[in-house]
Amino acid sequence: MHTGKLEIVEITDITEECADVFTVMYRDRTKASPGQFIMVWAPGVNEVPMSLSFIGDEKGFTFRVLGKTTTALSRLGKGDRIGVRGVFGNSFRPVGSRILFIGGGTGVASIISAADLFSPGRRAVAAIGAKNRDGIFFAGRMKQAGADVLISTDDGSQGEKGFVTAVARRVLEREDFDTIIACGPELMLRRVAELASEFRTPAQISTERFMKCGIGICDACSLNGALVCRDGPVFDGEFLLGCDDFGRYRLSPCGARVPI
């Protein structure tokens, strides 16, 4: 097989970005592009997909503690070994000279390396949203990359009160963009795809599905026949609006189609 060789790597650093959000760093010289992901194996626990939040020779992924695997990962330290397979999937493309980044919750982790790479020399605006102020991270890194950062929280504890899509709408009403780059909860992403269509701005949206193989063989990640692991995770907004299941249904681990 030409892809997906398992590598065992040592953690070089682990930092807490905000409450319950951690970045694990490791060294790996594989070439990676913004938006691509790896399968991370917490030995003895489980293996899960994670977007790369750092894509150089010093690589990293950033995650929120949700369940068993992410808890185990958050408790590891420098020198501990984990398995990584990848990198997998397609990536974000820099299109034009004006980019709007939209990140919801942990989704910011998937678009940050695109912001790092694409913002310099371009007009870049980043709308970052979370449930509350404890969920905001990478705002500083976005700014450093050269983006204008707009923050929103559902409860108003930081930045503007309300959904990140409301902020994005106002930005789009005010200003034209050549592309939108977004990741976050799927319902939010559906809103983003609709906004993009309304404002006639092509959108590149990173989607999530339950993953097993990561290499396009098991069909676990199928989104109406598009394999998120191989054809995605980044899809055009228009394409996603044409997928019945986008924002509505997903496949559970056994393969049953269940509402989101």
Partner 1 sequence: MLASGILGETAESMMRALKNGAGGVVTKSIGMEPRDGYLNPTVYSFQEGLLNAMGLPNPGMENYKQVIEKLKKESGGIVIGSIFGKDEQEFGALAKTMSSLKVDGLELNLSCPHAKGVGSEIGSDPDMVERVVKSARTHASVPVWAKLTPNTDSISSLAISAEKGGADAIVAINTVRAMAISARLRMPVLSNRYGGLSGKAVKHVGLRCVYEIYESVHIPVIGVGGIYTGEDAAEYLMAGASAFEIGTAVAERGPQVFSAVNRQLFAFMKKEHFSTIGEMIGIAHRQT
* Site residues (vs ligand FMN, CB under 6 A): 217-218
For ligand FAD, the binding residue among 43, 67, 120, 242 (CB under 6 A) is 67
Least Å distance, CB 207 to ligand FMN, is: 22
Number of H helices, E strands in the chain: 6, 17
Residue 19 is classified by DSSP as T
Residue type, 219: D
Residues numbered 170 to 209 that lie near ligand FES (CB under 6 A) are: none
Tokens 């993953």 found at: 211
Binding partner of 229, given partner 1, ligand FMN, ligand FES, none, CB within 5-8 angstroms per partner class: ligand FES
Residue nearest to ligand FAD (CB): 67
The amino acid occupying position 137 is: F
Neighbours of 259 (CB within 10 A): 7
181: region left, alpha or beta (phi > 0 left; psi from -120 to 50 alpha): beta
Q: Compare residues 68 and 78 and give the one whose CB is closer to ligand FAD.
A: 68
Span of 12-20, 63-71, 212-220, 243-251 interacting with ligand FES by CB under 6 A: 212-220
Size, binding site for ligand FAD by CB under 6 A: 23
Note whether 213 binds ligand FES by CB under 6 A. Answer: yes
Closest CA to 251 of 186, 205, 199, 194: 186
Q: Does 208 bind ligand FAD (CB under 6 A)?
A: yes
Closest CA to 117 of 53, 58, 175, 179: 53
The C-alpha atoms of residue 230 and residue 216 are separated, in whole angstroms, by 5
* Residue 241: both structure tokens together: 């609006």
State the amino acid at position 235 in one-letter form: F
99 binds, among partner 1, ligand FMN, ligand FAD, none (CB under 5 to 8 A by kind): none
Residue 218 engages ligand FES in binding (rule: CB under 6 A): yes
222 binds ligand FAD (CB under 6 A): no
Q: With binding defined as CB under 6 A, does residue 115 bind ligand FAD?
A: no
Strand, coil or helix: what is 210? Answer: coil
What the block records as the tokens of 104 is 């919801």
Q: Is 39 in the site for ligand FES (CB under 6 A)?
A: no
**Beta bridge mates, 50:** 38
As measured in angstroms, the least distance from the Cβ of 66 to ligand FAD is 4
Binding region for ligand FAD (CB under 6 A): 37, 46, 48-51, 61-64, 66-70, 106, 109-110, 208-211, 233
Footprint of ligand FES (CB under 6 A): 211-214, 216-221, 227, 229
